[in-house]
Amino acid sequence: MNNNKILSRSLENDVAVVGIGGAGTNIAFCLEKLGYPTIHINSSTQDESAISGAKNIRHLKGFNGCAGNRQLAEKALSENMDIVDEIINLKESIIYIIFSSSGGTGSGVAPALAEMLAEETDKTICCIVVLPDKTEDYDFHVNSYKCCQELLNIEGLGSVMFLDNNADSKKNINKHCANMLHAFLTNNSVSELGNVDEQEKRTMIATPGNFVLSVLGNDKANEASVIERLTTNNIFAPMQKDGRCEYVGIINASNKGIKKEEIIKLVGTPRRTFEGFGSDKVITVVCGLSFPFDHLNNIKAIAKQKHDERQNAIKTAPTATLEDIDFEEETVSKPVETEKKVNKKPSRRELLKMLQN
C-alpha cells in the first residue's frame, strides 16, 4: 500500500480482521468482540463451534478439517475462491490475517490468501502468526517453519506479529494480543509536547518485517519495564538481535518520558522515531525488524530432532512377522450328500449383516 495515500476513514474504522483455522479464529473472535469487522475461515465444524456467537463464519465447503496437511488446506481454498473475493471487496484498507503457522488450515490457507491480497489489491496486508511451543509435535514444527518461509517471500506484505506459544497459555496470549493491538489502533491522545498521528501509525503497520508491541499502564511504565516487555516478559517470539529496525513509536503519558535512546540501544537505529504524549497508557512499537530467524531456526532444530528420533526408532525396531498357523482338527463325520454343493465365501457385507442378528 502507498503510505502517502490520504484516507478519509479513521484508523480504528479502517481495519478488518480475517481469522483462519482454530487458533486464528479464536484471536479474531477477541478482536470481533472489540468491534472490528471479522471473517472467520475454517475447514473444521468443530473449530467453528468453539467460537459460538461469532459472525461471518465461512466454511471451506467440501472439507471437514485438514489434519495438519498444508497442501490439502491450500486445495480447500482453491475450491472456495468466493471467500477470497469477499475479502478483496471489503471496504477497509487494512486487513489483519491471523492464524497458527503449525496447524493445517491456517498455515496452508493464510500465505496463499496474503499473497493474493498483496498482488491484487492496494490494501495493507498484515499478519499475526502463532508459533508452536517446544512440546508440540513434529508436523507442527515442520509446518511452522515452511509457513514462515512462504511469508518471508511474499512481496508487498506489511507488518507481521509473531506470537510465541511458549510464552503463556493460549487463552492469555489471544487476549493480550487483541487488547494490545486495539490499544495501539485506537489511541488518540494529544499533547502540546507531540503526538503520534494516524498516518504515522499507518506507516508503522504497513512496514514489512517483524512488529513488536508493548502496552503498559502509567503506574507500571518506566524504561526498565518497557524494555522487559519488548524482550522477555511478553507474548512475542524473541527479536532478532541484528540491529535492523525501520521505525520506533513511543506514546507516553504527559508525566512520563520513556527515552527513545534506550529503545534504540535495544533494537537498532531506526529511520525515524514517532513520539507522542498525553496517553493513559505507555505504548511502544518497534517495526521493520527482521523476522525472528534465530527462533525460527530453533523451530527447525526441534523438527530435526523429532525427525531423527522417529527415524532411529524405525531403524532399531526389531523386524516382526506373524507366522502362519495350521492346527489339526478332529474329523467330524458328515451325512452323505446326494448333490455336491459349492461353498461360497461370504462377503464382508454379509459378515457384517450376521453381526446384526
pLDDT of residue 87: 97
pLDDT > 90: what percent of the chain? 71
pLDDT of residue 177: 97
Orientation of helix 70-78 relative to helix 138-152, angle to 10°: 50
Kindly compute the dihedral angle of the four CA atoms of residues 233, 23, 149, 312, in this order, to the nearest 10 degrees.
90
End-to-end CA distance of the chain: 69
Give the count of beta carbons closer than 10 Å to the beta carbon of residue 334: 6
- The pLDDT assigned to 6 comes to 46
Residue 138 confidence (pLDDT): 92
What CA–CA distance (Å, rounded) separates 152 from 286?
Answer: 18
Mean pLDDT of the chain: 89
Cα–Cα distance measured from residue 18 to residue 87, given in angstroms and rounded to the nearest whole number:
8
> Of 92-101, 102-111, 204-213, 331-340, where does mean pLDDT reach its minimum?
331-340
In degrees, rounded to 5, the angle at the alpha carbon of residue 165 between the alpha carbons of residues 48 and 312 is 100
> What is the distance, to the nearest Å, from the Cα of residue 79 to the centroid of all Cα atoms in its chain?
22
Q: How far apart are CA 48 and CA 43, in angstroms?
A: 8
What pLDDT sits at residue 318? 85
Confidence of residue 1 (pLDDT cuts 50, 70, 90): very low
pLDDT band at residue 197 under the 50/70/90 scheme: very high
Digit-coded pLDDT (tens) for 267-288:
999 999 999 999 989 999 999 9
pLDDT in tens, 109-122: 999 999 999 999 99
Distance CA 28, CA 37 (A): 9
Distance CA 218, CA 255 (A): 9
pLDDT of residue 354: 66
Highest mean pLDDT among 14-18, 41-45, 66-70, 312-316: 14-18
Residue 7 pLDDT > 90: no
In terms of pLDDT, which residue wins out, 292 or 12?
Answer: 292
- Which domains are present in the chain? 12-299 (3.40.50.1440)
Predicted confidence band of residue 253 (pLDDT cuts 50, 70, 90) = confident
Higher pLDDT, 5 or 200: 200
Q: Which residue has the higher pLDDT, 21 or 351?
A: 21
